[in-house]
Chains A and B, each alone.
Chain A
Amino acid sequence: MAKVGLFIPCYVDQFFPRVGLATLRVLRGLGLEVEYPRDQTCCGQPMFNTGCSQEARPLAERFVRLFSGYEAVVAPSASCVAMVKLQYPGLVGDTPEVRALASRTFDLSEYLVDVVKVTRVDGEFRKKVGLHRSCHGIRELRESRSSERMDAPFDKTRQLVSQLRGIELVELERADECCGFGGTFAVTEEAVSCMMGRDRIADHVRAGAEVIAGYDMSCLMHLDGLARRDGTKLPIVHVAEMLEKARLSR
């Protein structure tokens, strides 16, 4: 069995396939054996977050069967990974199999920093970048210290991308305020969702960002949708795409 099972969220597969490709290349560039289980579809998060556990459960059970054999499961999405790690034991059952899978499923940034132990990133990204830290990444996966907490600061994504030559990470006024996507929240609470997203964009623009980078395409898709509608030039990029051409080493 290959070492790494590549978990590509449903909407990434369909709408942002380049992000999946970048993730694949980053992992293979480290010498890892990566496999993409063809029959994967969805982790069940949209149903679960809507309160439809009944509908989410069969998808979660499928996922567990599909991915159980890998040493690690890696996705370019903190929110999908959080679903597997934090919600699957309650949803599917707190069995050794589920717990094992949960402990071996990672978002790309945390996998690179915590498991592969990447310390050096040799590449370039000559842009002023606003780093959008999505909520699942910060407050579920604890990939960086949330601004609310008073622990010692850390930021796994920043640790990686800050090494890219020519990059300038801009300082936002609200370092980790939610973008307002929130899954079906984006539709059921459309007014607040859009106001939240526009406020994020305005923060990035004021800070001088030329590009918004993040590790969750769901957030970026929402921000990009708003920016393009409002005529604001602020392209989105996933962290995997920033690291795609870089050489990563321990």
Chain B
Amino acid sequence: MIHHHPEKARLFVLDDERAHWHDKALWFVRVKRDRAAATVPEWEGLRTAAEGIKVHTLSRLAEYLEEFERKATANGIQVHWARDGEEHNRIVHGILEKRGVQRMVKSKSMLTEECHLNPYLEARGIEVVDTDLGERIVQLAGEPPSHIVMPAIHRKKEEIGELFHEKLGTPRGLSDPTLLTERARAHLREKFLKAEAGLTGVNFAIAETGGFVVVTNEGNADMGTTLPPVHIASMGIEKVIPRLADLGIFLRLLARSATGQPVSSYTTHFHSPLPGGELHLVIVDNGRSEMLSEAHRRKALCCIRCGACLNTCPVYRRSGGYSYSYLIPGPIGSVLGPHRDLAGHASLPFASSLCGSCTDVCPVKVDLHHQLLALRQEAGEEKLLPFGKRMGMKMASFAMARPALFRAGGKFARWILRVAPGLARVGPGAVWLRGRELPEPPTETFADLYDREMATRPEVKS
């Protein structure tokens, strides 16, 4: 598992033109984020407040969830609880089956990806149509999303055109985004009108008011919840926030961080079912309470799924979502995946140069790169590192603790590089030399230069 990301990333990078295209596309979103953030003088104050609200909420999560449930129930929302993904799927299926639903539309929810809801329902004869355009594209292609906000960012418009030609009957060779979107609009409109239920995620659940907020640019969550009489919303336990006024903080940060827009087109506050309809909310744990119980894992639960860390990550941009073993890629995925299953995602904490850009864009100030470094220590302790690497580090540590050994080793290495540079082509040297030259090996060390300097210029200049 430790080689998973590097091996996939190598293949991604091999297609140089495409890797640069992907990198530029995501960098562009980062630039838009910067421009949007720069228009808000209080930006850093908002980040601090958002972090504080989330940390506060997590410190009293049971209380807030209970308050939320009480008030949501008073609003006519039916609240369900699920320990894990399997239970979530059973509950959702139960609601649909009771009402004879065979066609459901779904707006974006990474939680439902985590629970593998689509295949569960499809195996039971229910058609599930993902209605976010990016999600629909990857659904038609039979792929997972490669980004949590822009699921099809890895696909060029010509490829989408080809896909639509095959699945939706658009003319061969059509690749204009406006025309492709037009076709998708017509296709999905049919699905909205025929849907018997709509399922959404939850961006924020408000304890004070007993309602929840869903945010989209396309209006797909709204088409899916104002037409069919049954609305099911799936949320992770960490989505609750204390007060309505707290949305003033989060909504000033969310869209700017995600896409560089000042706000999304639709920010819908659900506080009651449709007249004559039903509104169900499924609250899901699936490992979150366990993360909460470990102090060093807790911070990652603050995440509001904006995707800014993906866009800013120089490694994600150059390796793509499919290089990551966890369903959520990029920095946050490289923290969440290993928190759940370190052995299963052992390459992820190392799929980073620890540059820290992710930490500085995160609207809730999750210290992502420090979490990655801490996960590396865990990986070391659990002996998940390859034998060669561990041995190499043990030997280096042994040598470095003994100055005479260090000096002798360094002298030897420099001598080898001068007289027989080919011998450097072993282990890490060989890997380095694939794409880079090694530094020119000097004949003297700093210690030598220091001695000479202090001897020739003993007086301090002032």
Q: Do chains A and B touch in the complex (CB under 8 A)?
A: yes
Contact of B449 among A21, A87, A147 (CB under 8 A): A21
Contacts of A140 in B (CB 8 A): 356
Q: Quick one: given A150-B40, A195-B13, are A139 and B400 in contact (CB under 8 Å)?
A: no
Whether A148 and B34, one on each chain, are in contact in the complex, defined by CB atoms closer than 8 angstroms, is yes
Contacts of B354 in A (CB 8 A): 49, 135, 182-183, 185
Whether B44 and A17, one on each chain, are in contact in the complex, defined by CB atoms closer than 8 angstroms, is no
Bound complex: CA of A39 vs CA of B407, how far in Å? 10
Whether B14 and A191, one on each chain, are in contact in the complex, defined by CB atoms closer than 8 angstroms, is yes
Q: Quick one: given A15-B442, A147-B34, A225-B438, are A178 and B314 in contact (CB under 8 Å)?
A: yes
Whether A229 and B435, one on each chain, are in contact in the complex, defined by CB atoms closer than 8 angstroms, is yes
Q: Quick one: given A51-B379, A225-B436, are A190 and B431 in contact (CB under 8 Å)?
A: yes
Q: Quick one: given A17-B444, A49-B373, are A148 and B360 in contact (CB under 8 Å)?
A: yes
Whether A192 and B461, one on each chain, are in contact in the complex, defined by CB atoms closer than 8 angstroms, is no
Contacts of A183 in B (CB 8 A): 353-354
Interface centre among A6, A28, A150 (most CB of B within 10 A): A150
Whether A41 and B461, one on each chain, are in contact in the complex, defined by CB atoms closer than 8 angstroms, is no
Whether A21 and B360, one on each chain, are in contact in the complex, defined by CB atoms closer than 8 angstroms, is no
Whether B393 and A50, one on each chain, are in contact in the complex, defined by CB atoms closer than 8 angstroms, is yes
Asked if A164 is at the interface of the complex by the 8 Å CB criterion, the answer is no
Asked if A117 is at the interface of the complex by the 8 Å CB criterion, the answer is no
Contact of A185 among B352, B379, B381, B437 (CB under 8 A): B352
B59 to chain A, nearest CB (A): 22
Q: Quick one: given A15-B442, A58-B397, are A191 and B13 in contact (CB under 8 Å)?
A: yes
Q: Quick one: given A178-B355, A180-B353, A191-B9, are A222 and B38 in contact (CB under 8 Å)?
A: no
CB-defined interface of B186-203 with A at 8 Å, one 1/0 digit per residue? 000000000000000000
B209 to chain A, nearest CB (A): 31
Contact of B437 among A21, A31, A228 (CB under 8 A): A228
Whether B432 and A225, one on each chain, are in contact in the complex, defined by CB atoms closer than 8 angstroms, is yes
B308 to chain A, nearest CB (A): 9
Interface size classification for chain A: 35 or more
Whether B403 and A41, one on each chain, are in contact in the complex, defined by CB atoms closer than 8 angstroms, is yes
Asked if A224 is at the interface of the complex by the 8 Å CB criterion, the answer is yes
Which of chain A's residues 57-111 have a Cβ closer than 8 Å to chain B?
Answer: 58-59, 62, 87
Whether B461 and A194, one on each chain, are in contact in the complex, defined by CB atoms closer than 8 angstroms, is no
Q: Quick one: given A21-B453, A52-B380, A196-B318, are A139 and B5 in contact (CB under 8 Å)?
A: no
Contacts of A192 in B (CB 8 A): 6, 9, 13, 315, 318-319
Q: Quick one: given A52-B397, A55-B394, are A139 and B436 in contact (CB under 8 Å)?
A: no
Contact of A38 among B312, B351, B396, B447 (CB under 8 A): B447
Whether B9 and A189, one on each chain, are in contact in the complex, defined by CB atoms closer than 8 angstroms, is yes
Whether B377 and A53, one on each chain, are in contact in the complex, defined by CB atoms closer than 8 angstroms, is yes
Contacts of B116 in A (CB 8 A): none
Contacts of A59 in B (CB 8 A): 397, 400-401
CB-defined interface of A223-237 with B at 8 Å, one 1/0 digit per residue? 011101100000000
Contacts of B71 in A (CB 8 A): none
Asked if A56 is at the interface of the complex by the 8 Å CB criterion, the answer is yes
Bound complex: CA of A63 vs CA of B436, how far in Å? 31
**Interface residue SS majority, chain B:** helix
Asked if A114 is at the interface of the complex by the 8 Å CB criterion, the answer is no
Contacts of B437 in A (CB 8 A): 224-225, 228-229
Bound complex: CA of A226 vs CA of B14, how far in Å? 17
Contacts of A180 in B (CB 8 A): 314, 353
Whether B389 and A50, one on each chain, are in contact in the complex, defined by CB atoms closer than 8 angstroms, is yes
Which of chain A's residues 178-210 have a Cβ closer than 8 Å to chain B?
Answer: 178, 180-197, 199
Asked if A24 is at the interface of the complex by the 8 Å CB criterion, the answer is yes
Contacts of B40 in A (CB 8 A): 150
Q: Quick one: given A51-B376, A147-B34, A187-B431, are A13 and B6 in contact (CB under 8 Å)?
A: no
- Measured CB to CB, the nearest residue on chain A to B19 is A195
Bound complex: CA of A39 vs CA of B406, how far in Å? 10
Bound complex: CA of A54 vs CA of B380, how far in Å? 9
Asked if A250 is at the interface of the complex by the 8 Å CB criterion, the answer is no
Whether B315 and A31, one on each chain, are in contact in the complex, defined by CB atoms closer than 8 angstroms, is no
Whether A55 and B442, one on each chain, are in contact in the complex, defined by CB atoms closer than 8 angstroms, is no
Interface centre among A39, A44, A189 (most CB of B within 10 A): A189
Asked if B286 is at the interface of the complex by the 8 Å CB criterion, the answer is no
Bound complex: CA of A39 vs CA of B20, how far in Å? 46
Whether B460 and A14, one on each chain, are in contact in the complex, defined by CB atoms closer than 8 angstroms, is no
Whether B401 and A62, one on each chain, are in contact in the complex, defined by CB atoms closer than 8 angstroms, is yes
Asked if A146 is at the interface of the complex by the 8 Å CB criterion, the answer is yes
B428 to chain A, nearest CB (A): 5
Bound complex: CA of A17 vs CA of B319, how far in Å? 36
A15 to chain B, nearest CB (A): 5
Asked if A177 is at the interface of the complex by the 8 Å CB criterion, the answer is yes
Contacts of B394 in A (CB 8 A): 52, 55
CB-defined interface of B32-47 with A at 8 Å, one 1/0 digit per residue? 0010011010011000
B334 to chain A, nearest CB (A): 12
Asked if B120 is at the interface of the complex by the 8 Å CB criterion, the answer is no
List residues of B whose CB falls within 8 A of some A CB: 5-6, 9-10, 13-14, 16, 19-20, 23, 27, 34, 37-38, 40, 43-44, 312, 314-315, 318-319, 349-357, 359-361, 369, 373, 376-381, 385, 389-390, 393-394, 396-397, 400-403, 406, 410, 413-414, 428, 431-432, 434-439, 441-442, 444-450, 453, 457, 460-462
Q: Please list 13 pairs of residues, one from A and one from B, whose beta carbons are closer than 8 Å in the complex, sorted by A's number.
A: A14-B413, A20-B446, A36-B447, A49-B373, A49-B376, A139-B360, A146-B356, A182-B353, A189-B5, A196-B314, A197-B436, A199-B20, A229-B436
* A-B contacts besides A41-B401, A178-B355, 13 pairs, CB < 8 Å: A14-B410, A14-B414, A21-B446, A46-B393, A50-B389, A52-B390, A139-B369, A146-B356, A148-B34, A180-B314, A184-B389, A225-B432, A225-B438
Pairs A-B, 7 closest by C-beta atoms = A182-B353, A225-B436, A51-B380, A139-B356, A20-B446, A148-B360, A51-B376
